[in-house]
Structure 1
């Protein structure tokens, strides 16, 4: 999973000293792992942001209505594709997240869409069952050295039962809290040190790391949306369990603005002393003095009033390179606590729309795209970026995807290749709503 290129923004992911081992998180974080290139294209078993989607079968695409913006009618661009098989299911499962590239469609309903795809073809089911059998055999070999001797000639058993086997962690379907994403791009590219992973329970990562089947098909091309979709810059993503830093300086970014906000408060107090004596509280939101400071400060000030944004910032600062967070059945990290999306998750129980195609079921949180993804998708973190590009770019704080608890897709949605797609619920917390 880790290689010499796998470093987070400000520190090496191998530097265990700066992590707090007592802080346990069941969240998996995705980090950018190098660009998608003509020579290095993703497969169905990769997780990545940007580029073109990889469908579950070359001739099986979703319906056109799922891939166009409901506001302007243009084709959507892929924001993220996540290989996310479930631990107890014998089929391939992929989540796609799309967004409209038109700035005019920002904040508009239907400009961001999530799609869940499943491939339950006979070949896929047989392959996954074979992988499960292989992992169980490997577990037996580990437990019984005599069996290993009988099965392998000398020299053959070392790599067969050891770290090269992508299913070396035992039954890859045993744990529901395991890593749902693809971790390595290519087995042969893996440097030697990547074999000694410190990240503990990676049973699910190991399934995802198995090399995808390269089956060729002669069936007719799909009569769906023609041509490629518009696209953002493509980047492979690798995944690690969330770890928290020991230091307490994670809020350094917010610290920069504290003096401005304190000054703003002081001005408010000076101006409003008469009111304060009569019991009225001074609000920095409505104060003229903070508006005199540049508008950005007012915005930061408003954000600081929101404990959800403070929490979002402080948790993200532990791993500033994260482009996505995966926590099946967990809770999303809210960008603010005020908008309609926040209200849904803050209700008890959470008020996530039920799947119309499976009304007896309900939806659960699965993953969210993080603001760092904007920098990578729009390539805003390199030299020579025009400020206009940043101002005209995407303006969301986070995109939250929730999926059907029963992972159901109606039978009539599946094609002859055993592939079916369904639209899932996603909630966008836009910058403007803060």
Structure 2
């Protein structure tokens, strides 16, 4: 990716577009199964279990983010996984229901040709693989490492007992052992739109952010200059919201108390207003990418990580901001329900500043979840 802030947008991907989302085309994508980059050292089920409920996390998204000038990262992708359990998202902060891994390869490697892939579609459909060229088998349900096999046909692969039981209930009991149910056939996996475990699949299109705002517009929320940028209209709306929230009972409050309440509300919502203003030109953005450059934009003054909250990489190097996942992405995940649903304000990914590791491993990085403030208005849905 180039310098400056780059934005990611979800683009519908029909069956005719499926080929672009396979590993050989180095995609950035949301949902479906992961299009693994390196074929060695894939994270196992232990690393992919939710730290709260211990259920397997689902693949959320991947970004293709090579580093210019780094021979060992000519190809480089980041993979984010998220638990499907809504209750696991109640607490903000690090990890928990989320995790992120990094894979990278030099230009000359065992898996891909040195020249870019063709831009024309292949002659026939390209189904998600049941087995990698390295020999590693993939789970029929989630597309992650599948060391476990069906005890009857010994061909269907699974990451663990949970997905083996799920696949058995959804139809493998009827097709087990049939020729069309082999692990590398089109019938070996269920399309993301038909699968209740996978998130819907989209291509992520990357575009540079138009320079309508100065690079320091996400500066320290206590900076007076940042506060001065708030529009008069926003201030009037804020005053109206504060006065409305106090209702008729406000008549019994003295002027000093009312001023204190108004000041508190203004301070509490200032960052959220800055957030909305920054994304107003492109409200559908689901990704903001800027490795080591401009930092994330926050949705609240609450739960912003301090430097000591972001652990160093296992190699000892510090981690730097690489990208953030925006709340608008939730509109594409089909997670709304009458009860609880997966929710966040923003997810922020930090990666090793030295970009350590080699082509035979997936390095776990750090992800931080920030929620909306209890006093701010939730980011509106586009639907």
TM-score, normalised relative to structure 1: 0.57
- Residue 277 of structure 2 corresponds to residue 314 of structure 1: yes
Deviations 1:338-364 (A, max 9, x none): 21xx141xxxxx4453434111x1010
- Residue 62 of structure 2 corresponds to residue 81 of structure 1: yes
Structure 2 counterpart SS, 1:75: coil
What's 2:355 paired with? 407
Deviations 1:114-138 (A, max 9, x none): 111223484269955x67xxxxxxx
Query: Unpaired runs of 5+ in structure 1?
Result: 1-24, 132-165, 167-185, 190-215, 287-301, 345-349, 381-386
- Residue 101 of structure 2 corresponds to residue 115 of structure 1: yes
What's 2:332 paired with? 376
CA distance in 1, matches of 2:232, 2:290: 24
Select which of 319, 338, 349 maps to 1:363.
Answer: 319
Deviations 1:303-346 (A, max 9, x none): 8733211111111222101001001112011111121xx141xx
Structure 1 counterpart SS, 2:133: coil
Structure 1 counterpart SS, 2:329: helix
Query: Unpaired runs of 5+ in structure 2?
Result: 122-131, 138-144, 149-156, 164-196, 214-228, 376-383
Q: Which has the larger radius of gyration?
A: 1
Q: Residues 121-200 of structure 1 correspond to what in structure 2 (within 5 A)? A: 122-123=108-109, 127=113, 187-188=119-120
Q: For the Cα contact (< 8 Å) 1:36–1:51, is it kept in 2?
A: no
Deviations 1:233-282 (A, max 9, x none): 11101011112669x99999998776443434685753213x63xx8844
Superposition RMSD in Å: 3.9
- Residue 88 of structure 2 corresponds to residue 101 of structure 1: no
- Decide which moves more: 34-43 or 112-121: 34-43
Indicate how the Cα distance of structure 1 residues 75 and 305 shifts in structure 2: closer, same or farther if over 3 A, else same.
same
Question: Number of matched residues?
Answer: 289
Select which of 122, 126, 135 maps to 1:219.
Answer: 135
Q: For the Cα contact (< 8 Å) 1:303–1:309, is it kept in 2?
A: no
Deviation (angstroms), 1:394: 1.6
Structure 2 counterpart SS, 1:31: strand
Indicate how the Cα distance of structure 1 residues 272 and 223 shifts in structure 2: closer, same or farther if over 3 A, else same.
closer
CA distance in 2, matches of 1:251, 1:101: 41
What's 2:207 paired with? 240
